[in-house]
Amino acid sequence: MPVKVSIRTFLLPILVIFAPFCILAQDGSGKLFGKVTNKDGSAVAGVVVTATNQTSSEAESETSKADGSYTFKLRAGAYKLSAGPPFEARFDRGKSAEYGSFSNLICDESKKLCPILENIIIGGGDRKIDFIAEQPTDAAKADEKTEIQEPDRRELRDRWRIEFPEYDRYGDKGARGRDIPFKRNRWYNPYDQNVIKGDKPIFGDDYFLILSGVSTTGVEIRRTPSATSVSASNPDSNNFLGRPESLSLNQTIQLSFEFFKGQTVFRPRSWAIKISPTFSLPNYLNARENGIVNIDPRRGTNRTDYHASLEEAFAEVKLFDTNDNFDSVSVRAGIQPFIADFRGFLYSDNNLGVRLFGAFSNNKLQFNAAYFRQLEKDTNSNLNALETPRHQDVFIANFFRQDFLFKGYTIQGVGAYNNDREDIHYDTNGFLVRPALVGNARPHSIKAGYLGINGDG
């Protein structure tokens, strides 16, 4: 009696542990079989029948035998059944109950031909599915090919002119001062699409025009020690320093006209022309002492000056792409802005030059090689003086590498050479600028080079 108890005690845990595995073994696989026939009910041999697991996308194929039969032993899951070329399955819409309550037919647009049956549930039992197989006619193949070549899509005549929707943000029609964004047909609205600011092509599909204007007003009141001369503003004044107050006003207006070709949403422009006429009107200075606004004391203590210049006037052409991601190499010639390093400590100017620039490795590697023939600067406005170029040549080359060693860190290498030839130059107010009035004021040239590596990030 004690032996029987011990055997039961030993077998009970084993049954508890292995019983679920027996159940899973029964429910873990099943058989899918059936018969392939033609419309007349005759067996069709040589049809490749494919069962595809809809979760793992694993597919198994069997060829129908002489009697049209096929058999699959499948793991539990949902399957999709179809016939391979040159045959197509023709599942019957009237047999949905026979196929299973979860089954679904995939049919063509006519809903008459259904070549695929999906959601066939396999698990712990056998499923029998008979179907008809036939070869599509040439007309059906042609229709299918046309259907594939012409996908369902909606034609847009001009995608550039798809405007923002006009809607009331707060639903009160602008009451209580609340705004209604994206109002149409307002040329002065910066968020409204406009031809003159490059939102739409001016003609064709990829010719754009950008017109812009910037007005800058600078007012400065300062008190700086000012030396007096023999022609002091105040009679009988013998102090070393005169009256220090001064007031300056500089009104600068810049207009920009840019015309370019290219789909700049995803690639650099093919070519571009930009002109930015800039005007200083007026440039006013009111000092309290002679010899400040002009070296000639007869000019007094006030000055009003005007100047017109070109801060940008260049043409740019893309030479070639460096890879399939539209990294490219371009050249730009004319008066153009350029900054040599991250902060502009080495060189930052709008000047006359030629620049070769481009990118590689998905824009992570960028380079510049530039030559500038420096223009003189207007004394009072600091704009370019276009009359005669300065006898100074500047050569600069740099490269940038993004994500260097760490994500977000950019390293730069830069080299520069300055060839400033000797000359004598007086500014428009009559003061000597070159050579500097320090020590022995005689003409001299400067030839200086620079090599540096810096980082940002």
What's the pLDDT score for residue 102?
A: 74
Q: What is the predicted pLDDT for the residue at 16?
A: 41
pTM score = 0.61
Q: Which two tokens stand for residue 309?
A: 């210049």
Among candidate residues 210, 188, 187, 189, the one with its CA nearest the CA of residue 199: 210
Among residues 153, 410, 381, the alpha carbon closest in space to that of 282 is found at: 381
Give the span between the Cα atoms of 108 and 86, in whole angstroms: 18
Low-confidence ranges of the chain (pLDDT < 50): 1-27, 139, 142-151
Check residue 175 and give its pLDDT.
63
Distances (CA, A) of 311 to 39, 347, 350, 382, 385: 82, 16, 6, 11, 10
Confidence at residue 146, expressed as pLDDT on a 0 to 100 scale: 44
Domain boundaries, the chain: 26-149, 154-193, 194-456
3-class SS string, the chain: CHHHHHHHHHHHHHHHHHHHHHHHHHHCEEEEEEEEECCCCCECCCCEEEEEECCCCCEEEEECCCCCEEEEEEECEEEEEEECCCCEEECCHHHHHHHCCCCEEECCCCCCCCCEEEEEEECCCEEECCEEEECCCHHHHHHHHHHHHCCCCCCCCCHHHCCCCCCCCCCCCCHHHCCCCCCCCCCCCCCCCCCCECCCCCECCCEEEEEEEEEEEEEEEEECCCECCCCCCCCCCCCCECCCEEEEEEEEEEEEEEEEECCCCCCCCCEEEEEEEEEEEEEEEEECCCCCCCCCHHHCCEEEEEEEEEEEEEEEEEEEECCCCCCEEEEEEEEEEEECCCCCCCCEEEEEEEEEEEEECCCCEEEEEEEEEEEEECCCCCCEEEEEEEEEEEEEEEEEECCCCCCCCEEEEEEEEEEECCCCEECCCCCEEECCCCCCCCCCCEEEEEEEEEEEC
CA distance 58 to 60: 7
Superfamily assignment of 26-149 in CATH? Immunoglobulins (2.60.40.10)
CB of 336 closer than 8 Å to CB of 355: yes
Nearest to 71 by CA among 16, 40, 33, 106: 33
Give 451's strand partners: 415
User: What pLDDT score was predicted for residue 110?
Assistant: 72
Rounded to 5 degrees, φ, ψ at 25 are -65, -35
Rounded CA-CA distance 92/37 in Å is 13
Sequence-ordered list of residues with C-beta below 8 angstroms from that of 149, at least 6 positions apart, any chain: none
Predicted local confidence at residue 86, as pLDDT: 87
Closest by Cα among 188, 186, 199 to 159 = 199
* Structure confidence at residue 245 (pLDDT): 86
Is residue 111 left, alpha or beta, with left meaning phi > 0 and alpha meaning psi from -120 to 50?
A: left
